[in-house]
Structure 1
Amino acid sequence: MKIADLDMRELIDAIGGALIPVVYKDIGKDATPHAVRERSRLNAEIMGRLAAVLYCGEKVGPEIVDLIDLFTAHMQLEHLHSMDRFLGPGGGLSRLRNAARKAQ
């Protein structure tokens, strides 16, 4: 079996899921939106680099530099959209915090 034989989406999803506890390890419920966005950018950079290497398949050549830039930019854009939905005005975090305040 080779890397190319694997389902790349499944592999990247599994790696991404494994990274989350490490990247967000010390982010607690009182974390600022800025801190969460910062971790999201870090997660996107790590995932972009890993995805670029996986995309190369069996041999990594000099084109990896351009691929890292491409994949990292894509991951950062996706993470930015997710963070905007979560951290933006009326986003998921705001709704959670408002619900917690009402419950107190």
Structure 2
Amino acid sequence: MEIADLDIRELIGAIGSALVPVVFKGVGKKPTPQAVRERLRLNAEIMGRLAAVLYGGEKTGPELIELIDLFTAHMQVEYSGAMKGFLGPEGELSRLRNPQRDAG
């Protein structure tokens, strides 16, 4: 069996789930939006690199560097878009930090 025989999306999802606790370790129970953004950028960078290497399979050299750049940029865009509803004045993070606002 080889990496190409695996479902790469499923593998990346499993790695991503395992990575989150490590990347967000120490951020605290009430993280600031800036801390969340910083950790998300780091998470996207790591996931982009991992995805490129997995997708590239046996490729090495300049082709892999191009894939890393492509996948990392894609992950940054995806994470940024997904987090718009979480960060910001009316985002989920604000609601988690100020539960009284929603009860009022």
Q: Same fold (TM over 0.5)?
A: yes
For the aligned residue pairs, the C-alpha RMSD in angstroms reads 1.6
Q: TM-score, normalised by structure 1?
A: 0.90
Q: TM-score, normalised by structure 2?
A: 0.90
Structure 2 Cα separation of the partners of residues 100 and 26 of structure 1: 26
Deviation, structure 1 residue 29: 2.2
Structure 1 portions without partners, runs of 5+: none
Structure 1 window deviating more from structure 2 (75-84 vs 41-50): it is 75-84
Aligned twin of 2:50: 50
Please tell me whether the aligned partners of residues 30 and 97 of structure 2 are also in contact (alpha carbons under 8 angstroms). no
Aligned twin of 2:71: 71
Residue identity (%): 72
Q: Deviations over 1:73-97 (max 9, x none)?
A: 0000111112211012311111222
Structure 1 Cα separation of the partners of residues 94 and 22 of structure 2: 24
Please tell me whether the aligned partners of residues 3 and 58 of structure 1 are also in contact (alpha carbons under 8 angstroms). no
Q: Describe the SS at the equivalent of 2:61.
A: coil
